[in-house]
Amino acid sequence: MDQLIRREAAEDLVAFWEGDAPSEGDQVSVDIGDRLLIFDDEGLLAALDAGRHMLSARAQPALARVLAGDDGVHVAFVRQQRYELVNDGELDEEDLETGYSLRAVVQVRDAAKVAKLIAAVDAAEQTVEEWLADEIALDAAAAAGDAGVDLDAAIARANEALAEHGVEVLSIDELTFGDVDDPD
């Protein structure tokens, strides 16, 4: 069945294709600034840049088993332009339990590395955006000193941790920490 695979959640850093699994002859439309990743539990099978593409096992041999109907394949659009990450969350680590509010700008530098991050985040039942915000807040808390959070140090520490996932923090525009409200 020929279908048009395209991004449907314009506001997300990572948007999953929710339609049928890709098959031979499907059309793919990748917006400027996006990269389409087709991957399974073992890794990245194909990455397509902006433009219109037709999925074909002959043109893309790595997709042969996928296009033949193999299950367990994920299709995700990854925004590679600057992305404003806004999140209110809670950190519940061994030595840190607090709420936080974050507004930062991130950019995907290597979409292929994001495929591994997606698999790890999915296992933790979070979105990629929530995971990134938690990671940035943890790194900022770890970089904090007696004078408070040094945003330059927080960015450097976060970028060191996120490099393996292909994501870079460009700025932290707002970061506040607060006590977690205990309902008891």
Residues 6 or more apart from 77 whose CB is under 8 A from it?
7, 14, 15, 16, 17, 30, 31, 34, 35, 36, 37
Nearest-10 crossing angle of helices 151-162, 128-143 = 130
What are the boundaries of each domain within the chain? Answer: 4-79, 83-178
Q: What is the DSSP string of 31-76?
A: -TTEEEEEEETTEEEEEE-SEEEE--TTT-GGGHHHHTT-SS-EEE
CATH number of the 83-178 domain: 3.30.479
What's the pLDDT tens digit per position in 39-71? Answer: 887 788 889 999 999 998 888 888 887 787 767
Distance CA 89, CA 112 (A): 27
Residue 90: DSSP 8-state: E
Which secondary structure element, helix H or strand E, spans residue 77, and what is its range? strand 74-79
Q: Is 125 left (phi over 0), alpha (psi -120 to 50) or beta?
A: left
As a whole-number percent, the residues of the chain with pLDDT over 70 amount to 91
Q: Residue 143 pLDDT more than 90?
A: no
Q: Is 4 helix (H, G, I), strand (E, B) or coil?
A: strand
* Angle (CA) 36 11 100, round 5°: 115
pLDDT tens string 20-32: 888 888 999 999 9
> What SS3 class is residue 171?
strand
pLDDT on residue 150 = 80
* pLDDT interval class at 180 (50, 70, 90): very low
Instruction: Count Cα neighbours of 130 within 13 Å in the Cβ-side half-sphere.
Output: 10
Question: pTM score, two decimals?
Answer: 0.82
pLDDT exceeds 60 at position 181? no
